[in-house]
Amino acid sequence: MSNLGYVTGDIEQTSRVRFPGLSPRAYEHPADRGALAVLRAVPGIGPILQAVAGAFTERGERLLQVASSIRVGPKQYPNINRLRLEVAATLDIEPVPDVYIERAAEAYAGTYGIDQPFIVLSTGLVELLDYDGLRFVIGHEMGHAKSGHALYATILRRLLGLQQSLGWMPAGYLAMRAIIAALYEWQRKTELTCDRAGLLASQDPQAALRVHVALAGGMDVSEVDTGEFLAQAKEYQEVEDIRDSLLKLLHTERRSHPLAVVRAAELQKWAASEEYRSILTGEYPRREDDSPSSNFTEDIKSAAKSYKESMANSTDPLIKVINEVGEAVAGTAGKVWSKFAPNGAAE
């Protein structure tokens, strides 16, 4: 980590584009945004969800990090602190989340907290990635903070604990399992969302791809052909045997993150899209224009379109069925909102 610990200075002035007033809607994956739109549109949902997540002691979690890890700052990992400030400036995040480095051989990162989110990086991750890779990862984690994912992720953790107490009730267990499976699906979509935030922070698709290669097992990225790596995603997605489809479902049911190779291909596809290029030229949703009532229908339609495109592009028979269900749910949510929303809100 010698290349990360000794340089100090102000926020780097580079050719990277900054995004003043950036709304998280600019980079959120359509399925993620649609799910959040449904939740955010319910009157008083914030206090209710806060109460559900009440067992999460944000103050205690922060104090634990203060006592057991290193808080990044001007005098502690100053290069990573520069990245922290640069990424926050690029994505227009204020206040800037704290970053902590904790000792662990495993490579991981996480964002915790609801009112004041903070980021934790493992030493295994810091040692694995280069400077540009860390920029992408910190941008990814700040995407979680900006989109408010911590609250819903906390609810998932609470439900996982509650599931154990309902295990003796078959009906209760099955209902809880269905809810948890849906939340896991949403959480996997949030990772795709935040990969996009990481790309906006780094504006370097190759750096993002190197991170995905490293997380998939690339100890020396020079030994991995990225074309072959991405071809694995196509091989995985194009299975036609229903038995393979069921195996894929079992592989992902309890995963909080998409499978590494598939995730890499998804981000590279977005990096080549007109949507990404438009954001770089300054055409993106602003926070000042965010309104649950005015954006709800747009978000639901976008989610339904995403499922439809995924279904159309997939040769996997089971994925087609799952996407049909997702599209139907999104469409139903839009119809319900249109029926009960205030006049004009759904137009």
253 is catalytic: no
Task: Concatenate the DSSP letters of all residues of 136-151 into one string.
Answer: HHHHHHHHHHHHTHHH
Q: Is the pLDDT at 310 greater than 80, yes or no?
A: no
- pLDDT tens digit string along 88-127? 999 999 999 999 999 999 999 999 887 788 999 999 999 9
Instruction: Report pLDDT for 337.
Output: 46
Q: Contact, 283 vs 28, CB < 8 A?
A: no
DSSP E strand stretches across 116-216: 118-122
Per the prediction, the chain carries an average pLDDT of 76
- Coil vs helix vs strand at 291: coil
Tell how strand 98-102 and strand 118-122 pair up: parallel
Tell how strand 70-71 and strand 109-112 pair up: unpaired
pLDDT band (50, 70, 90) for residue 334: low
Instruction: Report pLDDT for 108.
Output: 93
Point out the catalytic residue in the list 28, 58, 127, 141.
141
Q: What are the boundaries of each domain within the chain?
A: 24-290
What's the CA gap between 256 and 153, in Å, rounded? 10
pTM recorded for the entire structure = 0.75
Instruction: Report pLDDT for 290.
Output: 78
What's the CA gap between 251 and 280, in Å, rounded? 35
The rounded percent of the chain whose pLDDT value lies above 90 is 38
Closest CA to 90 of 273, 284, 269: 284
pLDDT band (50, 70, 90) for residue 294: low
Give 240 or 75, the one with higher predicted confidence: 75
